[in-house]
Amino acid sequence: SFTDMQGNITFDQVQFSYDDDRIALHEISLKIKKGQTVALVGHTGSGKSTIANLISRFYDPTEGAVYVDGYDLRDMRLDSLRTNISVVLQDTFIFSGTIMENIRFGRPDATDDDVKEAARVVGADAFIQRLSSGYETEVEERGNILSAGERQLLSFARALLADPRIIILDEATASIDTETEMQIQKALKRLLSGRTAIMIAHRLSTIREADNIIVLENGKILEQGNHDEL
């Protein structure tokens, strides 16, 4: 059943247009095996976010199909998709509320201890403890008391707690100091372990460690392979 999603993804001759004038993806065929990390790279407008949008079923293909474990995404229940596929966006979505509530988002049944455990695993616990009221600290919608790196770690804790089979991650481009960068790399490793990951990759470290790098150009796959092959 879909509750046992493995996370194998197949694009079969997928074509997609947002509107009539232009084709955003041309006949994309690709396979991502469960547990693999795939880095999507390419210039602005090449189709990276569009691929992510199709996997998260934000849109459906104009032609062709996207399959997960052999099932057409269009035949899957939306609640199953929501529990099994998490999207971590570049501008991490933070709402007004406590840190605890922000991490718990997407997994409402999680206990306080579950939340703290997830934060600990991704290394967010240290900075949270330093906040005035720890996990009960109120943050604003823009998350303005948090640095870009801290927001990333918070979003990783949230994604880890949600425990999806597939993670789509649009890496932040914001400049982050070296120490935080290393912390994020470590956190990413833990977050992605055992899951299928589609990374809209901006960091060289992510690209280097991906099982497969897919280079997009004008909605087509220009080349693919791992860092040594390309």
| Residues of span 49-68 touching Mg ion by CB under 5 A | 49
Nearer of residues 48 and 116 to ligand ATP, judged by Cβ? 48
Residue 42 is a binding residue for ligand ATP (CB under 6 A): yes
Among 14, 28, 39, 47, binds ligand ATP (CB under 6 A): 47
What percent helix, strand, coil does the chain show, rounded to 5?
Answer: 35, 25, 40
* Ordered alpha helix ranges (H), 46-177: 48-55, 78-84, 99-104, 112-121, 125-130, 148-162
Residue 20 is a binding residue for ligand ATP (CB under 6 A): no
Nearer of residues 54 and 122 to ligand ATP, judged by Cβ? 54
Report the alpha-carbon distance of residue 39 to residue 201 in Å, rounded.
6
Bridge pairing between strands 138-139 and 97-98: antiparallel
| Residues of span 16-45 touching Mg ion by CB under 5 A | none
Nearer of residues 49 and 206 to Mg ion, judged by Cβ? 49
Q: Alpha carbon of 160 to those of 34, 119, 123, 186, 213: distances in Å?
A: 17, 9, 12, 13, 23
123 binds, among Mg ion, ligand ATP, none (CB under 5 to 8 A by kind): none
Which residues are at the interface with ligand ATP (CB under 6 A)?
18-19, 22, 24, 42, 44-50
